[in-house]
Amino acid sequence: MSKKLAEIRSILEEHHAMISKAIPLIASENITSPAVDEACICDFSHRYAEGWPGSRVYAGCKYIDKIEVLCQDLMKEYFQCNFADVRPVSGVMANLVLYNAFTSRNNGKMCAMPIPKGGHISHAPFQASSGRLIYGTAGTVRGLEVKYLAFDEENMNIDPDGSIKIIREFKPELILFGASVFLFPHPVKELREVANEVGASIGYDGAHVAGLIGSGYFQDPLREGADALSLSCHKTLPGPQTGAVIADREDLIEDLKNAAFPALFSNHHLHNVAGLAVALTEMLEFGKDYHKNVIENAKAFAQALHERGFKVLCEHLGFTESHQVVVDIAEFGKTVGLGGDIERILEEANIIINRNLLPWDIREGRHYMNPGGLRLGTSEVTRLGMGKSEMGDIAEFFKKLIIDKQSPAKVKPEVAEFRKEFNEVKYCFQTPNKAYEYLKLF
């Protein structure tokens, strides 16, 4: 074995050893099942299949086509829609499909969420100046002129009345809902009428909440007025890292297909399509229970943090209706540090979280590298079998490290001991064979 190969293997082993003893709380992450992992290492990863099933550019796609059609059918069943494109290789790629389909090639206009108030970096423009990100109220992103929707900071959500005024004045071609900080359903239904008034399409970036929506929770954007959804398939939907676009309007199908291929990509990640198909079988079987517990755990975690002295946002609304919990940690700025500092302290104790801008951080002069907020997620710990009582245990670790200022070196062994009981993926078929038996039903 070469020294470099040994080094690569050693690094991978160290990572797996670390993560197996950690508490993973990043809201944009999840863990796949053994059945999904098996599908993702199949021979599909070596192949090309440009185009739509049945109309490929390459030969040798007979079985690839079968799996992709199965994956489309499973996606349509899970989301109760009549169109699914599982070729986008990421949620950002799926967003670009919507931009292509619903806006002009030149001088297109879109309304979306600003980054400091929860929007994803693919939604909104930014520019760097002296190492800081400067955000305004409008700009350009990927050739589109973007105007931000109005935001209600107290309720951490889009302000419908303020947004109606902006939409009427700006007259966008696309109104994009969805966010990276996503505690509560967005007002799709409330803005459908004004979208019709100005001739705008409605898109919905469901990357974070796709699994919640598919399992019947959070909200139902397609029935509330969205024309199409862009998805990541590896957050609350616990599949491999890939994306998708779904819709329920027959008249949009060809536009959406053409907006994807060959406009944005050639080949897609065929092995991840196979893995996604398996993940969808799991969610059709176990998603109702899994996502119910994800949301209940988020609420329990928020309450436990609140009871231990943390400023968890939106207490008056029950903290959250999703997998996310957002904490304002600005009060610890002079004693422990802000988001970046606290992120490092927690990581030293093997608690993996991410810092996050809060809507008022820019006004307060805080940088995105060390903001005033933490964004926490319960999707992965729930899939590892943790429940509401464990949310209290995790909140206690936060208290020890941030409020009591205990040494991360002291808390780290406690975290590892806590994690010992939670190293098996739940809410999935126990053997790969059962997953594939389920696939045969379609």
Q: Residue 385 and residue 393: Cα distance in Å, rounded?
A: 14
Give me Rg for the CA atoms of the chain.
Answer: 22
CATH 1.10.1370.10: does it fit domain 34-282? no
How does residue 272 score in pLDDT terms, banded at 50, 70 and 90?
very high
d(C-alpha 236, C-alpha 379), whole Å: 6
106-120, 124-138, 300-314, 357-371, range with greatest mean pLDDT: 300-314
How does DSSP assign 386-414, residue by residue?
--HHHHHHHHHHHIIIIIS---HHHHHHH
- The predicted pLDDT at position 440 comes to 54
Domain 286-419 has CATH 2.40.40.20: no
d(CA 24, CA 379): 9
Residues sharing a CB contact under 8 Å with residue 54, sequence separation 6 or more, in sequence order:
65
Residue 134: per-residue pLDDT: 33
- The predicted pLDDT at position 263 comes to 85
Q: Would you state the pLDDT for residue 431?
A: 65
Q: Does the pLDDT at position 320 exceed 50? A: yes
Give the pLDDT score at 86: 97
113: closest CA among 103, 122, 100? 122
- Return the HEC string of 311-357: EECCHHHCCCCCCEEEEECHHHCCCCCCHHHHHHHHHHCCEECEEEC
Please tell me the number of Cα atoms within 13 Å of 49 on its side-chain side: 26
Q: Which residue has the higher pLDDT, 114 or 163?
A: 163
Pairing of strands 201-205, 174-177: parallel
* Contacts for 421 with CB less than 8 Å, ≥ 6 apart: 385
Chain mean position to CA 441: 29
| % of the chain with per-residue pLDDT over 70 | 92
Calculate the alpha carbon distances from 179 to 56, 92, 278, 339 in Å.
34, 12, 26, 20
Listed residue (235, 256, 237, 201) closest to 82, CA to CA: 256
For residues 356-360, give the mean pLDDT. Answer: 92
Domain spans in the chain, listed from the N-terminal domain onward: 34-282, 286-419
Report the predicted TM-score, pTM, of the whole model to 2 decimal places: 0.92
Above 60 in pLDDT, residue 30? yes
Q: What is the pLDDT of residues 157-213, one digit of tens each?
A: 999 999 999 999 999 999 999 999 999 999 999 999 999 999 999 999 999 999 999
**Distance in angstroms (rounded) separating the CA atoms of residues 343 and 330:** 13
**Residues 114, 124 contacting (CB under 8 angstroms):** yes
The type of residue at 149 is L
Query: Residue 339's pLDDT is what?
Result: 86
Distance, CA of 281 to CA of 276 (rounded, Å): 9
Distance between CA atoms of residues 282 and 52, nearest Å: 25
Q: What is the chain's mean pLDDT, rounded?
A: 91
399 against 1, higher pLDDT: 399
pLDDT in tens, 147-158: 999 999 999 999
How confident is the model over 288-297, as pLDDT tens digits? 999 999 999 9
Q: Please check whether the two domains, 34-282 and 286-419, share a CATH topology.
A: no
Share of the chain above pLDDT 90, in %: 80
DSSP secondary-structure letter at 22? S
In angstroms, the CA 441 to CA 438 distance is 6
Question: What is the DSSP track for 211-252?
Answer: HHHHTT-S--HHHHT-SEEEEESSSSS-SSS-EEEEE--GGG
For residues 41-66, average pLDDT: 93
Provide the token pair at 365.
């002069």
Pairing of strands 354-356, 373-377: antiparallel
C-alpha to C-alpha distance for 357 and 343, rounded to whole angstroms: 13
